[in-house]
Chain A
């Protein structure tokens, strides 16, 4: 729990070869290699990201449990990480994620207006997915690009100084 102690490792009684997919395991191993063996759990964030991308943008409980087993950590510790960070989704999502930053600079720069626009135009509430399954609209904590507020992250790309017209165009170009 504290950084003074090595974290609680849980040796789960499963064959690691049966977890996830061989490709994912190889990718996760690259991240595991960056940390001392007893801090293997530090690779949980990249692991979750990899697994989420592989699973169409969201994490099921079973997948989180598999990540926990693969990294020899308690399941709860994985749930903690996955629920803390906004970039992990724990329910099925649309084909694309449109994430509008809601922090101070963006708010002052017109993020609220942008969000109202998306809500109205695409008939989707923050956190929801459009009826056609094209996009999931998320209100996001600071994206860290305040200089060019408001910022929108569409899938993995940042778009800066976004206006309602610009976001329409970005969304139209998706798929």
Chain B
């Protein structure tokens, strides 16, 4: 045995432990149960519930009093008794005190049946309370649409408070008052507005904090539990779906240390509400003479086939949601390619595809998710990590607390709960900021360069040091991907990574963005990542150069595409549009001719490949809504009806295995083919005159159709609506003030394609974090469908009242 291990005895069992470990951690590892409320392995030690009192002796000398197992470090030769009379008496005593003020409302408490207090009181509580005085009552606070409170039940374990301080980085809850008057709350009425806030529901050992959307809808013992994978961001959080009578009642995290630890984001937790949305598409529908008719599947499939075959090869375009499963994406590309078209793409929010030829074989995060915490220097380019990837933002925060330098380059300063170095520049100038960083490193650069400031030097030095230590990372996020100069930005990012010896990484925007590369659902990739002889049209090209027919998979054309006005114009002009979707929407009903209902998240089996390249399979947990069918079955049906080869799989597993075989030699790889040449690509000039650059960021709760249909999330403070966020100085130059209503017009750059520029109306919001020359106008929200490219020139005119 090595020197840094010590041995101790717990309940007569010999255990090994590292010095400094707490007794409870060793006991947990050994499977010895010690009751606890305040202790949580991911949180700091508070030792305030006193439930884990145990008897112990060290060196033959017993401790005079029972000691808290959560706050007592182990010692060599220590003997711990967790079930001795002394220990049990202490635990019973604690339990009696904890129950003094706890209401006896278990029958109407949502936590009933899965309550740590209830469980432990079964073991240690008395049948009859000796406390006959009045119990205290605590006034409830409204913590917003996600978390229900019943603070009278609170036992002051402070797990939620510590979660705020240590994990979320935002201390919204606190323990105010003293003694009997102590209470957990926000003190000032406010909604909790953190993207991980739902985790305090799991942390709460009693029924004080429960899920508001789930409240009073089911009992813990009526639920069955199925494992699943979150369908939103690139993390692929492991979930446990709780189901009753074929309906997902709530979602809990499933521990997976390497992916999501024991947390999930609110988006993953509450998006299930969208499954029961009245907007679900539940029956196949055909448009006949401009009116929608419900038809049976047979008729719908034949109509879809006719519509898909009619345009003829090369005149069919296929746009696929990057949240579609690997199996769906694989069969889709098979179908589209068998129909003679190479035009399939999942990169719906990308505008610049100039460097597709140089694409890495399988772009990924660059490091495993868990290793983000060990990075010493990270530069995020075009990324608002808390909005895009809440759990990766948490990992980066952990790195920052550990001393790492987190630097960001964005068109607006993003809100973070840790120290960071932020560079803010309007999108046309992002490239020159990167050049400035390269120049600060002493590298020769071409093209316009921003002035090198002290911050550039600071970032360059930090990245260099981190790179040298092998713990440096340059990450490209969703705002970079959406940039019209993405080719240039990522080429410069690659140059910067090389110059600093940092790794280069891509934040996969959606649950299966990485999967697209494996499934081959891209115009320049076949299954397994090989390049086809001839590349098809990318997501933008097939709209700029409209196709006669389109196949839309799992997307809403007015929300999920980089340039909704261009997309809608192209789709309106198309002769045949077949849309497979789990949701109906006005835009889909307008442009489509055939609507096929497909299963949503939790209703289909499939695989997601997360941003670190991890394949995660899941099974369908509930039946699809109405007459909807799992996507892969719909595609198999279409393929079989067309008598194409390769559509004879019996189940999703067989499709998965087929893809896995095709990808057996493909490993995550961020090496560019030939990107260096792209550095000389000239960038767009900044918009002139009355135009600003629109930054159409994707708000956290607008990311995909399922989230957009989840009502509770839409009521949180993080849900955004259409507004024009301007720097006060910028607003002043335009003669605008907070609350003014303006007319927005975009799309004149492709007016020829779309016929006319479109316009939307929105209020002005002043925000000092926005770069000058920009207007942050969120994408994928109500009204944004009237606008053009997410990042591009926008004209703003005041509407006189």
CB distance from A14 to the nearest CB of B (A): 12
Give the distance to chain B from A36, nearest Cβ to Cβ, in Å.
Answer: 16
Contacts of B166 in A (CB 8 A): 1, 5, 8
The answer to whether A79 and B44 have CB atoms under 8 Å apart is: no
A11 nearest CB across to chain B (Å):
7
A60 within 8 A of B: no
Interface of B is mostly: loop
Q: Are B165 and A1 neighbours in the complex by a CB distance under 8 Å?
A: yes
A2/B44 in contact, CB under 8 A? yes
Q: Is the CB of A74 within 8 A of B419?
A: no
* Partner among B174, B178, B417 whose Cβ is within 8 Å of the Cβ of A77: B174
Q: Mark B140-163, 1 if CB is under 8 A from A, else 0.
A: 000000000000000000100110
Q: Point out the residues of chain A lying under 8 angstroms from B188, CB to CB.
A: 61, 75, 79
Interface size on A, residues (CB 8 A): 18
How close is A74's CB to chain B, nearest CB, in angstroms? 4
Q: Judge if B648 is at the interface, Cβ distance under 8 Å.
A: no
Contact yes or no, B176 A80, CB < 8 A: yes
A76 at the interface (CB under 8 A from B): yes
Task: Render B166-195 as a binary contact track against A, CB cut-off 8 A, 1 for contact.
Answer: 100111111111100000001110000000
B176 and A79 form a contact (CB under 8 A): yes
Q: Nearest chain A CB to B151's CB is how many angstroms away? A: 15
Q: For the complex, is B45 an interface residue (Cβ under 8 Å from A)?
A: yes
B106 within 8 A of A: no
Find out whether the CB atom of A8 lies under 8 angstroms from the CB atom of B45: no
A10 and B416 CA atoms in complex are apart in Å by 10
Q: B186 contacts which chain A residues (CB < 8 A)? A: 76
Residue A4 is within 8 A (CB to CB) of chain B in the complex: yes
Say yes or no: A79 contacts B174, CB within 8 Å: yes
Q: A2: which B residues are within 8 A, CB to CB?
A: 44-46
Residue from B162, B169, B174, B417 in contact with A80 in the complex, judged by beta carbons closer than 8 Å: B174
B167 to chain A minimum Cβ distance, whole angstroms, is: 11
CA of A49 to CA of B109 in the docked complex: distance in angstroms? 42
Bitwise, A1-30 to B at CB < 8 A (1) or not (0) is 110110110110000000000000000000
The docked-state distance in angstroms from the alpha carbon of A53 to that of B162 is 32
Residue of A nearest to B162 (CB): A1
Q: Is A83 an interface residue (CB 8 A)?
A: yes
A residues 52-109 near B (Cβ < 8 Å) are 61, 74-77, 79-80, 83-85
Chain A residue nearest to B169 in the complex (CB)? A8
B177 touching A74, Cβ below 8 Å? no
Residue interface mask A97-140, B partner, CB < 8 A = 1: 00000000000000000000000000000000000000000000
Q: How far is the CB of B669 from chain A (nearest CB, A)?
A: 39
Nearest-CB residue, chain B, relative to A82: B176
Q: List the A side residues contacting B170 at CB < 8 Å.
A: 74
Q: Which residues of B contact A84 (CB under 8 A)?
A: 176-178
Distance of A77 Cα from B176 Cα, bound (Å):
9
In the bound assembly, the distance between CA atoms of A80 and B185 in angstroms comes to: 10
List of B residues within 8 angstroms of A85 by Cβ: 178
Please name all residues of chain A whose beta carbon is closer than 8 Å to the beta carbon of B46 when the two chains form the complex: 1-2
What 4 pairs across the A-B complex have the smallest Cβ distances? A76-B174, A74-B171, A2-B44, A83-B176
- 29 contacting pairs across A/B (C-beta < 8 A): A1-B46, A1-B162, A1-B166, A2-B45, A2-B46, A4-B44, A5-B166, A7-B165, A8-B166, A11-B419, A61-B188, A74-B170, A74-B171, A74-B174, A75-B187, A76-B171, A76-B172, A76-B186, A76-B187, A77-B171, A77-B174, A79-B174, A79-B176, A79-B188, A80-B175, A80-B176, A83-B176, A83-B178, A84-B178
Point out residues on A near B: beta carbons under 8 Å.
Answer: 1-2, 4-5, 7-8, 10-11, 61, 74-77, 79-80, 83-85
